[in-house]
Homo-oligomer: A and B are copies of this chain.
Amino acid sequence: MRLLEERILKDGKVRAGGVLKVDSFLNHQMDVNLFMELARQWYEAFGADNVTKILTIEASGIGLACVAGLVFGCPAVFAKKTKTKNIDGDLYKTQVESFTHGTVYDVIVSRDYIRPEDRVLIIDDFLANGAALEGLCDLVSQAGATVVGAGIAVEKCFQPGGERLRKKGLRVESLARIKAMHDDGTLEFAD
């Protein structure tokens, strides 16, 4: 996906410790026209797979998931990071470790919105250690539904999540794949 890689080169910022800041267009300010192009790329990959539901995790996946829902013609669901008063009824729950924030948190989704017959496409902005994506796969599995695959915007290929999940059989389509990030602020994409 040249478009997103070009945008990262233009507007992304490499910070110490393997941090890539893309908050000018992806996860704080959101370039929704870019989101539409990304969603169309995911549709090229998964459009024939009869996706019935988009699943993401709050917060920065929600915008991408909604635009993907428009393109795939199905609802989007976001898993929540804590149990709030306003969700009742039965939940699926899993735990996710955030390496960014150094915490472990519960992730929940209502049983009403992932059904056994659903064919779920998981969407997220980043794939690095894979903890969030693995947690979302677990929620879908608990529901007895099918994970069609995962559409990721930016994959950090130098972290282990993508390789581990592909080895487990998950189909992962990442639209920008970063092979290395350097202390001088440059980065390299995977082929």
Contacts and interface: CB of A to CB of B under 8 A. Distances in A.
Given A28-B110, A29-B75, A113-B28, A21 B86 contact: yes
Interface residues of A, number: 40
Task: List the 5 closest pairs (A to B, CB-CB), nearest first.
Answer: A32-B69, A63-B66, A58-B59, A62-B62, A29-B113
Interface in A4-52: 15, 19, 21, 23-25, 28-33, 35-36
Interface of A: 15, 19, 21, 23-25, 28-33, 35-36, 58-59, 62-63, 65-67, 69-70, 73, 75-78, 80, 84-88, 100-101, 109-110, 112-113
Contacts of A25: 75
For chain A, what secondary structure do more than half of its interface residues adopt (helix, strand, loop), or is it mixed?
Answer: mixed
Contacts of A113: 23-24, 28-29
A21 to B, nearest CB: 6
Contacts of A66: 30, 32, 35, 62-63, 66-67
